[in-house]
Amino acid sequence: MRVLVTGGAGFIGSHVVEALAARGHEPVVFDLQENQVTPEVPGRDVRDRDAVSRALSGVDAVCHQAAMVGLGNGFADAAEYVSRNDLGTAVLLGAMADAGVRRLVLAGSMVVYGEGRYACERHGVVRPGPRSSEDLAAGRFEPTCPSCGAALRPGLVGEDAPVDPRNVYATTKLAQEHLAAAWARSTGGAAVSLRYHNVYGPRMPRDTPYAGVASFFRSALARGEAPRVFEDGAQRRDFVHVRDVAAANVAALEAGPGREDGTLAVYNTGSGEPHTVGEMARALADAYGGPDPVVTGEYRLGDVRHITADSSRLRAELGWRAEVGFQEGMKEFAGAPLRGE
């Protein structure tokens, strides 16, 4: 299968390219970042309709990894996020429709859920609203029941849970899914969105406003500095290794034949082993050899407290499962170079 991988020279995309090649497929790299590509792979912008159309020649499927990620520098980045993520996806899907390419795997994100799943002892499953700056400044980090104010118990989010994007990046990721669903209905194509959890591993970009927390911690350790853990470090996340995410993309692509039914299939893509941010910082620091993490109590508006999702649908329907364990992955990541080092 000949597969166009947008963002194929980036962090996740480069691992997808390797996983496809290892399975005997022919990946075609399409990437904007000129400083991340070789002379044989010139920088290409997914918003450039002519360039995308040329790249789709002879392609059987598209694995769409290209995106502007993270929280960035605040709302000042909103137009750029929408342009790269949503306009870029619309241009790509339009070109796919014209070229007759009917199979798409989209890099989705668990950020579309907003806060995770919570249960109140009295009111059952509830949906807390965004945390206030007053509560965060006072160190009250845990969401409370919107009906009675009681403490809540966090749980796993299923794909059918209501979506509630809490920042610009999350909003653009949800819009990408809506565009993919509209494309599938219009063309009769098959679209899959893999809602990634907190992906980490080799080639992760070093500390920028767009990098994940694992990258910030790893970069701090490389400088001989202590990882700075926000809030109280008890935020629950699912840290999934990039090679496992790449394998999920290949599984979704290989499941394509016979699924050109005009629908969007959504799969949570996580390790299935929730850990706190503090635990991740500790595991990474131990593997690197210190310094020890420091819990700062700092916070960012727009961050969610707990978000861990149920990935059993992906395991059941596509036969995928995470292979890299948490301790093993953190040990490897501690010694792996970051992009830009």
| Cα dihedral 201→322→114→255 (10° resolution) | 110
Inter-residue long-range contacts of 251-255, CB under 8 Å, 24+ positions, other chains counted: 251/314, 251/318, 251/319, 251/320, 252/105, 252/192, 252/194, 252/318, 253/1, 253/3, 253/20, 253/25, 253/61, 253/63, 253/103, 253/105, 254/1, 254/23, 255/192, 255/317, 255/318
C-alpha span between 278 and 18 (Å, rounded): 31
Cα separation of the two ends of the chain: 34
Tell me which residues are annotated as active site.
169
Residue 154 near residue 117, CB atoms below 8 Å: yes
- Cite the DSSP H helix spans in 100-198: 133-137, 168-187
The conformation of residue 176, written as its DSSP 8-state character, comes to H
Q: Specify whether the CB–CB gap between 185 and 304 falls below 8 A.
A: no
